[in-house]
Amino acid sequence: MDPRSERVGKNEAVFREVNERINDVTRENTTEYLCECGDATCTETIQMTVSDYEDVRSDPTHFAVLPGHEIPDVEEVVGRNEGFLVVRKKAGAAAALATELDPRS
């Protein structure tokens, strides 16, 4: 895996880990999660339901990102929701890294 793809994957994994903690403590049906894009400087949030978050998390290669935050050379858009996209890591090293770093795996 090239260094850029690895860095993007690790950045996304960090945001996903924070979102897991948010999900653990939320008591609301709808909450703000961090955008799980590969940009380490992104601090934007996504308003979604716990159910939407669980749908994204049902696959370790899926991430919730804001529109325009997708990175086409390492992921593809597989879902569009109100206010966010679901992206899937492309097969190979990027998908393997996402699965390896998945806190639910």
Determine, yes or no, domain membership for 84.
yes
Determine, yes or no, domain membership for 38.
yes
Determine, yes or no, domain membership for 31.
yes
Q: Which pLDDT belongs to residue 48?
A: 94
Query: What are the residue ranges in the chain where pLDDT is below 70?
Result: none
Provide the edge-to-edge strand list for the sheet that holds 62-65. 62-65, 84-89, 75-81
Two tokens at 20?
A: 């897991």
Determine, yes or no, domain membership for 105.
no
Determine, yes or no, domain membership for 60.
yes
pLDDT tens digits for range 10-38: 888 888 889 998 988 887 888 999 999 99
Structural domain of residue 67, as residue ranges? Answer: 3-100
**Total domains in the fold of the chain:** 1
Rounded Cα–Cα distance for residues 50 and 1 (Å): 33
Determine, yes or no, domain membership for 69.
yes
Q: Which pLDDT belongs to residue 51?
A: 93
